[in-house]
A = this chain, B = another copy of it.
Amino acid sequence: MSCVSRIIDVKESLWKDNEERAARLRNSLRSRRVLMVDLMGSPGSGKTSLLLETLRRLPASLRAAVVEGDLDSTVDAEAVEKAGWTAVQVRTGGFCHLDAAMVGSALETLGFGSGGMGTGEPPFDLVFVENIGNLVCTAQSDVGASLRVAHLSRPEGDDKPLKYPVMFRTSDILVLTKADYDEVLTAGGPAAPFDAGAVRERCRFLNPALRIFETSCRTGTGLDEWAACLIDETRGYRRSP
């Protein structure tokens, strides 16, 4: 499998470049007291829906903006802007994850200065990066965020931490979305139920520090708790030395 080895060698070098840039970006944002959050998960795991519900719950004193990543289209940025928030769309044209350079450019568009690493009073306190829908590659690329949030929707199944461990190992927070799906399944007929306990156990094995939330944008389950955690994170971040 020499082809694979070559890809891995090349990727390691490029990842190292990206990691250095991501660290610089993170330090720059930290020095300006800006919290950047990387939102990751499979396509359709409910990232955009949860983000819109989260934005609605933020206090007016927190200035938030969104960087939307997609291969193509601007539908997510449009949805965010329609809800009254500032958004920048990054279209990767086929590329499978965002990296620190792409996010730095988006931050520059948002007014954070050159490569997102300007100085002085920042235009926003909180930046959400909605990454490409991808449970694999986004986990392996540092965009410069200080908080990494994985999303897993119940319809995806409870075996995902076994099959895609990197995402669950490297995230700070896991949000289990579409929490209403189980009653839906029970109503609809026999099906393998989603075992949230098994997910928690598998994640505890991979990443004991991972914090886990359960939410449903349809029923409202867990949304206030999740938003309160994020507001706390932002306030703590703004106070941190």
B44 and A165: CB pair below 8 A? no
A135 / chain B contacts, CB cutoff of 8 Å: 42-43, 133-134
A136 / chain B contacts, CB cutoff of 8 Å: 71, 94, 96, 132-134, 137
- Size band of the interface chain A makes with B: 35 or more
A157 and B44: CB pair below 8 A? yes
Assembly CA distance A18 to B43 (angstroms): 26
Assembly CA distance A135 to B97 (angstroms): 12
Q: Which of B3, B73, B101, B163 contacts A71 (CB 8 A)?
A: B163
A183 / chain B contacts, CB cutoff of 8 Å: 188
A8 / chain B contacts, CB cutoff of 8 Å: 95
Assembly CA distance A71 to B169 (angstroms): 13
A1 and B153: CB pair below 8 A? no
Assembly CA distance A191 to B140 (angstroms): 33
Q: Which residue of B lies closest to A185 (CB)?
A: B184
B160 and A72: CB pair below 8 A? no
A178 / chain B contacts, CB cutoff of 8 Å: 155
A156 and B44: CB pair below 8 A? yes
1/0 contact string of A123-153 vs chain B (CB within 8 Å)? 0000000001111110010000000000001
Contacts A44-B153, A71-B166 given; indicate if A189 touches B3 (C-beta within 8 A).
no
Q: Which residue of B lies closest to A18 (CB)?
A: B3
A33: CB under 8 A from chain B? no
1/0 contact string of A58-78 vs chain B (CB within 8 Å)? 000000000000111101100
Closest 3 CB pairs of A and B: A44-B156, A155-B155, A96-B136
- What are 9 A-B residue pairs whose CB atoms fall within 8 Å in the complex? A3-B14, A4-B99, A44-B155, A71-B136, A94-B136, A133-B136, A153-B155, A190-B218, A191-B218
